[in-house]
C-alpha cells in the first residue's frame, strides 16, 4: 500500500499541491538546493544529525531560508 504524506513548507507552512514548484534544501556546513522532482530519499548525508532537510514551497521562501542561513553564519 502506498503511503500518502502531506508536506508543508518549513518557512511559511503552505501545504504542497501538485502544481507548486517546490525545493528540498539540505543545510549543514553548506546550503544545497534540489528541485523537488529530482530529489531522492536516501541521498548522501541521510541520517547525519548535522544535516537539516527543509521542504520549501517556492523562490520567495527559498530566499528567506537562504538569508537565515547566511545570518547564522555571520
Considering the entire predicted model, what is its pTM? 0.75
Residue written as cell 547525519?
A: 48
**Residue-wise pLDDT tens for the chain (74 aa)?**
566 678 899 999 999 887 668 999 999 889 999 998 887 654 555 556 668 999 999 999 999 999 999 998 76
Given CA atoms 6, 10, 13, 19 in this order, what sign does their dihedral have? negative
59's CB contacts (< 8 A; 6+ apart) are none
Amino acid at each position: 500500500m502506498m503511503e500518502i504524506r502531506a508536506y508543508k513548507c518549513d518557512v511559511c507552512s503552505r501545504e504542497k499541491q501538485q502544481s507548486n514548484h517546490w525545493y528540498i534544501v539540505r543545510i549543514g556546513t553548506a546550503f544545497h538546493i534540489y528541485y523537488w522532482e529530482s530529489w531522492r530519499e536516501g541521498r548522501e548525508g541521510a541520517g547525519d544529525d548535522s544535516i537539516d532537510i527543509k521542504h520549501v514551497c517556492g523562490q520567495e521562501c527559498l530566499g528567506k531560508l537562504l538569508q537565515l542561513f547566511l545570518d547564522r553564519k555571520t
